[in-house]
Amino acid sequence: MPVTDIGRREFLAAGVTGLSVTAAYGAEAFGVTEQFDDGRITAVVPWAQGGGTDRSMRITTPVWADRLGVEFVVENYPGGSTQVGGEELYNADPDGTTVAMWNMPQMQATWLFQNAPYRMASFDYLGTHHWDPTMWFAPLDRPYDDLSEFVEYAREDGATVGITSAIGNTALSALLVEETYDLDLTVVNMEGGAGVRQAVLAGDVDAGVNQPWAFNPDHVGDVLALGSHTAEPQELWPDTPSFADIGLEDVPLVDEGLGQWKLMVVPGGLQENQPDRFERLAETYAAVFEDEQFLSEAENQGGLDDILDYRGPDETETEVEETSQFMETYADVVESFIYDR
């Protein structure tokens, strides 16, 4: 069962001077007059409420609704390292009434490693949203200050590491660190960024792997920032070293930077069979990233505006294909974790 965002529906219906007035004005102002048949769009989030993808969708859809003239209802389908939500999108009619904010490389990993019934061609792609680098966190009371010191600690005493999903960037980062330094980590799938955040804050793990924005920069000072899986320091979490800064260049993907894309996806067939509807969704989604209300809200959400990175449908599809190829390169590492541990 999905978790339906009734609060958001009420907000859209009454809190923004009435959706019928606001959406109609927005649609007229931006040259949009056609109405979708059932008057609403389901916005699928393949994670539980409170994580980075959920928060991203919920600050995007109100402005998109104004531009499009259609109500959005956010529904959460957590589980299966995003496959539960992915199948919900896959089984939806390609009529423009269902969209999803998904993640790369989790999306590709579901069909590469979990035998999902869909593939890249099963979907159409409206555009990217932002890229968030992979980062390691730890409870404040731990006896290490960065990931280099954590490696030494884990080599002597072992360690438990929480990740956001069994597949994807956080799992890959944990597994690459483990393999590079011959550690014996207990890697635990927390099924989402919110779970990792809660486990680190509660001291239930020795370290957690997430993304700085998804973890929520409001918690700067509440946790130890051990390092980002990048060559250069990231911008959202102050005074956090990159892997290169602390001498962890032997870990793969430091130079390239390992992170997570968020992107907007629709059921496959929409672009081919209803091109006008696809274009309407794509154009109004692109316009969100130039909207002052959205940019102001993104700034208030822990500096999300600093990492926004919109790319159009064609460029997004290319990114999806390249990420699929990238994940295939590390198939042995991921499959060993999924099937052999």
Give the model's pLDDT for residue 5: 36
CATH at residue 90 = 3.40.190.150
Number of domains in the chain: 2
Residue 265 clears pLDDT 50, i.e. is over it:
yes
**Amino acid of residue 159:** A
Tokens describing residue 19: 């959706």
**Amino acid of residue 152:** E
- Provide the 3-class DSSP secondary structure of residue 58: helix
Could you tell me if residue 68 is inside a domain?
Answer: yes
Q: Are strands 71-76 and 223-228 parallel, antiparallel or unpaired?
A: unpaired
Q: Are strands 123-133 and 259-267 parallel, antiparallel or unpaired?
A: antiparallel
235 and 141 inside one domain: yes
Give the model's pLDDT for residue 13: 32
Query: Greater confidence, 27 or 307?
Result: 307
Give the model's pLDDT for residue 30: 42
Residue 334 clears pLDDT 80, i.e. is over it:
yes
Residues 28-40, mean pLDDT to the nearest whole number? 54
How far is the C-alpha of 299 from the C-alpha of 293, rounded, in Å?
Answer: 10
How far is the C-alpha of 94 from the C-alpha of 121, rounded, in Å?
Answer: 13
Indicate the average pLDDT of the chain.
90
Give the model's pLDDT for residue 37: 56
* Helical (H) or strand (E) element with 220: none
Q: What confidence tens digit (pLDDT) does each residue in 206-249 have?
A: 999 999 999 999 999 999 999 999 999 998 998 999 999 999 99
Number of residues in the chain: 341
How far is the C-alpha of 16 from the C-alpha of 218, rounded, in Å?
Answer: 26
CATH at residue 174 = 3.40.190.10
Residues 296-319, mean pLDDT to the nearest whole number? 96
Among 307, 284, 282, which residue's Cα sits nearest to residue 295?
Answer: 307
Residue 181 clears pLDDT 70, i.e. is over it:
yes
How far is the C-alpha of 126 from the C-alpha of 203, rounded, in Å?
Answer: 39
Structural domain including 279 reads 40-133+259-340
Residue that finishes a domain, picked among 246, 274, 296:
246
